[in-house]
Amino acid sequence: MSMTITEKILAAHAGVDQVEPGQLINVKVDLALGNDITAPVAIREFEKTGVETVWDRDRVVLVPDHFVPNKDIKSAEQALLIRQFARKHNLTHYYEVGRMGIEHCLLPEQGLVGPGDLVIGADSHTCTYGGLGAFSTGVGSTDLAAAMATGETWLKVPESIKFVYYGDLPRWVGGKDLILYTIGRIGVDGALYMAMEFTGPAIEKLSMDGRFTMANMAIEAGAKNGIVPPDETTRRYVEGRAKRPYKFYQSDPDARYARVYEFDVSKLEPQVAFPHLPENARPVSEAADITIDQVVIGSCTNGRLEDLREAASVLKGHKVHPNVRLIIIPGTQEIYRQILKEGLVELFIEAGAAVSTPTCGPCLGGYMGILAKGERALATTNRNFVGRMGHPESEVYLAGPAVAAASAVLGRIAAPWEVAS
């Protein structure tokens, strides 16, 4: 029977020849991930099982990234709990402050996730790794605890939706714009518990960073996972980086899909998602003259090297508007090191930006950029729900790094061509 890439990966990890949508299966996981918010709950549940140690110390990954460096006593205690657990079980992949990064930027960079893997993480944006051609999805902390103990989890096989993108992407249009446009077309529940498979000529030309961004936001359409079929771009990324063997899966030509969408993106404008849902995506030209108080460039969605280079190309030679706070957060320490080498940190500081060590901080309204009542932010993050970045009467607009940088300069939501040459 013909299968999609998602179904093939699930079948392989269930140890069966084929699976069908709606089928309940038990699967072996390649990696189980937790962070400083979700892992403490998982650890407490794990300890209730009486299991003496984790199923594989090389496959349980803990990354404190949401409230670190710790913002208060409670967050310090959360981080201490996972630090002690990592030491007790001698985990190979525990990432301390100074060596950590935003988890979904860090794991692919370190080669911990590869094509064909099955990864679960107690964080909804675990679906990021689908950019590599892996099946990855978010789970609850109790499911993470069970996987830490057994190396297994259960899943319902999702139906798949195929998205085909045609045409050459215009300048300044990238993965963030494609996924915002897509969510705008199908809605925040348009792929509920389904696999979003991103294909077509425009995807084949998209960089790995752009693919990670698209897979990252599949959850914002309600999807179980997002996935990009691996190709030579994928191979170049994982060669010399992957810590384990990997396998490329492809959908069969006659695989069954619940729906197929086709988009010509050759004339697509950079997108901006208006409050208070990612589905409120509009062309940037429709967002003109909306003033802003803060811009955040970073997060597991757009904190990668390509994103920061793009922001720098717009900011070069300009100053941040006096009424705007610009916060730039590299996704990992290695990305931070690279932008230092390239002189981008100096460029950002000369422009008037604050550059932070890697953290999820402002994305979830944690710290490093909380909004007051009535304030408005433009962010390269993934969610703009009511109160997402602070006060419930604040507003968050979502966009890619080029729009974010241009907006920081002009003090209003702006297209990058208004600033960059």
Q: What's the pLDDT band for 278 if we cut at 50, 70, 90?
A: very high
pLDDT at 186: 96
For 416, the enclosing helix (H) or strand (E) is: none
For 264, the enclosing helix (H) or strand (E) is: strand 259-264
The domain segmentation of the chain, as residue ranges, is 5-262, 271-418
Q: What's the pLDDT band for 288 if we cut at 50, 70, 90?
A: confident
Amino acid occupying residue 390: G
Mean pLDDT across 236-244: 93
Architecture of the domain whose range is 5-262: 2-Layer Sandwich (3.30)
Residue pair 155/25 in contact by the 8 Å Cβ criterion: yes
pLDDT above 80: residue 421: no
Q: What's the pLDDT band for 180 if we cut at 50, 70, 90?
A: very high
State the pairing for strand pair 271-273/281-283. Answer: antiparallel
Q: Do domains 5-262 and 271-418 have the same CATH topology?
A: yes
pLDDT at 386: 86
pLDDT above 90: residue 330: yes
Q: pTM of the entire structure? A: 0.94
Architecture of the domain whose range is 271-418: 2-Layer Sandwich (3.30)
Instruction: Report residue 50: phi and psi, to 5°.
Output: 85, 0
